[in-house]
């Protein structure tokens, strides 16, 4: 999502004063150029933060996938009775589904 393409129902966001139309975002005493630079820096910082969060979600989802594999591997040492009694396959499936949902949810938000 590019913040420069957002639609404002009150009119386009502008750092240049326009009578009766735009939403003013400039600070008192700020020139249009200073305002534009400030908003561009904010947009760049927001994109950098999104990239950090995306990386963190990927790391968490990968860790969940690895944990699900480890649960299945270690659970295989238990007898079938105990695997069923303690819902081993459901736990593995739930952990994998959570990793998948993390990846999917974030992908949908982008």
Compute the distance between CA of residue 75 and CA of residue 91 in angstroms, rounded to an integer. Answer: 10
pTM listed for this prediction: 0.65
Q: What is the CA radius of gyration of the chain?
A: 24
pLDDT digits (tens), the chain, 110 positions: 444 444 444 444 567 666 665 555 677 778 888 888 888 898 899 999 989 999 999 999 999 999 999 999 999 999 999 999 999 999 999 999 999 999 898 777 66
Phi, psi of 39 (to 5 degrees): -70, -35
Cβ count within 10 A of residue 18: 11
Is 43 in contact with 67 (CB distance < 8 Å)?
Answer: no
Residues 32 and 39: their CA atoms lie apart, in Å, by 11
């Amino acid at each position: 999502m590019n913040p420069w393409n957002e639609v404002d129902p009150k009119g386009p966001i502008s750092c240049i004063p326009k009578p009766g139309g735009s939403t003013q975002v400039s600070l008192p005493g700020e020139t249009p150029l200073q305002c534009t630079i400030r908003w561009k820096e904010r947009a760049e910082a927001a994109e950098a933060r999104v990239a950090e969060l995306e990386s963190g979600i990927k790391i968490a989802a990968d860790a969940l996938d690895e944990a699900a594999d480890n649960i299945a591997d270690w659970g295989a040492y238990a007898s079938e009775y105990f695997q069923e009694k303690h819902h081993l396959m459901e736990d593995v499936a739930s952990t994998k589904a959570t990793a998948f949902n993390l990846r999917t949810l974030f992908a949908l938000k982008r």
